[in-house]
Amino acid sequence: MLDIKFVRANPDIVKENIKKKFQDEKLPLVDEVIEMDQQYRDAKTRCDYLRSQRNTISRQIGGLMAQGKKEEAEEAKKQVTAMAAELNELEGKEETLTEEVKKRMMVIPNIIDPSVPIGKDDSENVEVERFGEPAVPDFEVPYHVDIMEKLNGIDLDSARKTSGNGFYYLCGDIARLHSAILSYARDFMIDRGFTYYIPPFMIRSNVVNGVMSFSEMENMMYKIEGEDLYLIGTSEHSMIGKFIDTTLDEEALPKTLTSYSPCFRKEVGAHGIEERGVYRIHQFEKQEMIVVCKPEESAGWFETLYRNTVDFFRSLDIPVRTLECCSGDLADLKVKSIDVEAWSPRQKKYFEVGSCSNLGDAQARRLGIRVKNKEKGNYFAHTLNNTVVAPPRMLIAFLENNLNEDGSVSIPEPLRMYMGGKEIIR
């Protein structure tokens, strides 16, 4: 959510930003917000004046009565009563205007970084850099579910009976590999100075509204019936929410956190749920990284975060590339975003395994996350998040890049200690 003062002072910049995101239907909101904000400020000014006058006249009534000026006192009382009625009406107007302004401000997109490429959708995202040499083996690489089934590592049919499409049972060495990847990711981030967390897996609606846009919430979040609780779609939701209505000491920044959680997503939209596969599913687990920092440090942390993911995948010898999200592919709260994509030898192309986002002060403004500064005054923090790894999606890249011609899967050295010393899965 933008600062209303910024919108008031820079309507053309806000409108141009909306155009860059190809959301022209939102252009009228800018003028509506400015007009309603002016009405609110006029009502507030009038309210302040009426309160001042009411207090002054109320004090005079006692003096008039003491002087025996009963008629003047009664006339003054009528003035106070009229003022009270007008105040009541104006206060109601203030409340209504505040809600209407907020409703519109919540859907006006954040100002994107000048470096973001302009494009309508993800087809216009821009490759930034490649890491590692993508290779295609001499033998055919089967579909990832076929690899898992041959290793007795997945049962989709039973999951379909218990839960429907978009769920799975992992078992045996594949289940162990899944846990090994998460354990390695945890320790990888701890070794880089991040504090490890396991957060709540459900959050209240005020936190949901603080961390994401309404359209994202509708397409992603599962609501608990009869409760003001939602299942998280990523641990970022809980971890940013941890700081709601908090004023942080500037000296204590940055907050660098890494968190594990299961994630639950409706996955409503064009992509849908896979009938047979674990790329787009309703339930998965993830290791995340979150940073809360000063505004001038967020650009540096953005690069650090996505490079952490690159380094993690390269430590397992999986080729990756980074892809900058264009303006039309950015969620409304994001200032800048880069996806990390892993190489698929079967598809002979890269696919998304992580996403790094700088949200500026959008989440902090919605959630009331401030930083204490005695000289300049308190200000809103910047928040960032990025995926370290999200199996089972990452298992697709792992299995394809470590598959041997006989159907076995090699285990890279960093994972062996989490696999009981195993070097290969047969």
pLDDT of residue 62: 77
Structure tokens at 53: 């006058």
Distance CA 235, CA 232 (A): 7
Provide the 10 A C-beta neighbour count for residue 148: 28
Structure tokens at 371: 């930083």
Exposure b/e, 288-315, CB count within 10 A at least 16 = b: bbbbbbbeeebbebbebbbbbbbebbee
pLDDT of residue 423: 97
| pLDDT string in tens for the chain (426-residue length) | 899 999 999 999 999 999 999 999 999 999 999 999 999 999 999 999 988 888 888 878 878 777 878 788 878 888 888 888 888 999 999 999 999 999 999 999 999 999 999 999 999 999 999 999 999 999 999 999 999 999 999 999 999 999 998 899 999 999 999 999 999 999 999 999 999 999 999 999 999 999 987 777 778 899 999 999 999 999 999 999 999 999 999 999 999 999 999 999 998 655 666 668 888 889 999 999 999 999 999 999 999 999 999 999 999 999 999 999 999 999 999 999 999 999 999 999 999 999 999 999 999 999 999 999 988 899 999 999 999 999 988 999 999 999 999 999 999 999 999 999 999 999
Tell me which residue of 164, 391, 156, 394 sits closest to 276, measured CA to CA. 156
pLDDT of residue 73: 81
Contact 207, 367 (CB under 8 A): yes
Tell me which residue of 233, 217, 377, 383 sits closest to 295, measured CA to CA. 383
Provide the residue type at 183 as one letter: S
pLDDT of residue 220: 86
The pTM (predicted TM-score) of the whole model is: 0.90
Tell me which residue of 289, 303, 286, 262 sits closest to 195, measured CA to CA. 289
